[in-house]
């Protein structure tokens, strides 16, 4: 039987971390928690289980997850966020493949729980994730805050049945606050990479995102919360663009500053 390390990153996750750990106890040969100096009971709860608890400054989602994976004892790693947990079906299927890992990576669908309701449409499902992999065959990449694990070009992967359960938001207010936070991170990263945005994009793209998720991706079938999810997600997209425009204006004003001094 092969060995499996489970790595989890945390920050003030006392509401979620116990459920996350308990969902992997049957399959993990090692559970490693990397915490960004939580001020709640996260550490206390973790230490009630047989886990390795390590603190490390948070430099970004991608950076933190790569750091956590680098500390794993075994080559095969299952990476989870603290607000995620394995469904019974997914856990049982992972039990089977642990007998012998035949692929470099394993993907499965993530199912989001929003204010107590499972969201099966709205652009949120199936939300396929690569979360179980041979750490020698790739690393975390993407763009903060939307990280993803990237296998090497010659890496092999397959799909596992069962859902990764994501307890995303317990209230609409939490979602709005996160949308504001994530849009700021995305805007800053986009500007750092030299991307430019026009006002027309801030008008058209969020509108299209709502239409796509609510109508074409059947968000209306998720009822009231489907509508809320699609609206807030499109609003997050709008916030990203207007924040990028604001940053562009600041950069432009700084670039003209020396010239204005010369004129004086």
| pLDDT score for 38 | 98
- Give the number of other Cβ atoms within 10 Å of residue 180's Cβ: 13
Residue 125, CA distances (Å) to 77, 149, 174, 219, 234 in order:
24, 19, 20, 10, 16
SS3 53: strand
Half-sphere exposure of 13 (CA within 13 A, CB side): 24
Question: What are the respective helix, strand and coil percentages of the chain, to the nearest 5?
Answer: 45, 25, 30
Could you give phi then psi for residue 104, rounded to 5 degrees? -80, -25
Domains of the chain (ranges; CATH) run 4-169 (3.90.550.10), 172-263 (no CATH)
pLDDT, residue 259, reads: 47
- Residues in the chain, total: 264
pLDDT at 263: 37
Nearest residue to 229 (alpha-carbon basis) of 110, 120, 147, 126: 120
pLDDT of residue 1: 81
- Least Cα distance to 65 among 49, 82, 41 occurs for 82
Write down the residue that tokens 């750092």 correspond to: 192
Q: Would you say 53 and 43 are in contact if contact means Cβ atoms under 8 Å apart?
A: yes
Q: Positive or negative, the Cα torsion across 185, 55, 147, 166? A: negative
pLDDT tens digits for range 112-155: 999 999 999 999 999 999 999 999 999 999 988 889 999 999 99
Listed as ranges, residues in the chain with pLDDT below 50 are 259-264
* pLDDT, tens digit (0-9, with 9 covering 90-100), for 81-111: 999 999 999 999 999 999 999 999 999 999 9
The DSSP annotation for 165-187 comes to: EEEEESSHHHHHHHHHHHHHHHH
Between CA 110 and CA 205 the distance in angstroms is 25
Q: Which two tokens stand for residue 112?
A: 């989001």
């Amino acid at each position: 039987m092969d060995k499996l390390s489970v790595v989890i990153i945390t920050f003030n996750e006392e509401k979620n971390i116990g459920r996350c750990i308990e969902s992997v106890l049957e399959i993990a040969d090692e559970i490693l928690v990397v915490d960004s100096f939580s001020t709640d009971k996260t550490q206390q709860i973790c230490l009630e289980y047989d886990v390795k608890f390590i603190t490390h400054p948070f430099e970004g989602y991608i950076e933190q997850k790569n750091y956590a994976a680098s500390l794993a004892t075994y080559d095969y790693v299952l990476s989870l966020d603290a607000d995620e947990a394995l469904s019974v079906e997914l856990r049982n299927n992972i039990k089977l493949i642990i007998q012998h890992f035949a692929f470099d990576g394993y993907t499965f669908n993530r199912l989001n729980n929003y204010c107590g309701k499972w969201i099966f449409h709205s652009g949120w499902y199936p939300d396929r994730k690569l979360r179980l992999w041979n750490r020698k065959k790739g690393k975390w990449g993407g763009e903060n805050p939307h990280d993803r694990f990237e296998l090497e070009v010659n890496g092999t992967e397959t799909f596992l049945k069962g859902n990764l359960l994501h307890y995303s938001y317990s209230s609409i207010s939490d979602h709005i606050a996160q949308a504001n936070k994530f849009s700021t991170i995305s805007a800053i990263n986009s500007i750092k990479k030299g991307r430019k945005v026009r006002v027309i994009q801030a008008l058209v793209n969020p509108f299209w995102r709502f239409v796509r998720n609510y109508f074409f991706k059947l968000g209306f079938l998720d009822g009231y919360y489907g509508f809320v999810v699609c609206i807030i997600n499109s609003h997050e997209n709008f916030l990203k663009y207007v924040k990028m425009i604001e940053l562009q204006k600041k950069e432009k004003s700084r670039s003209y500053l020396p010239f204005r001094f010369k004129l004086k």
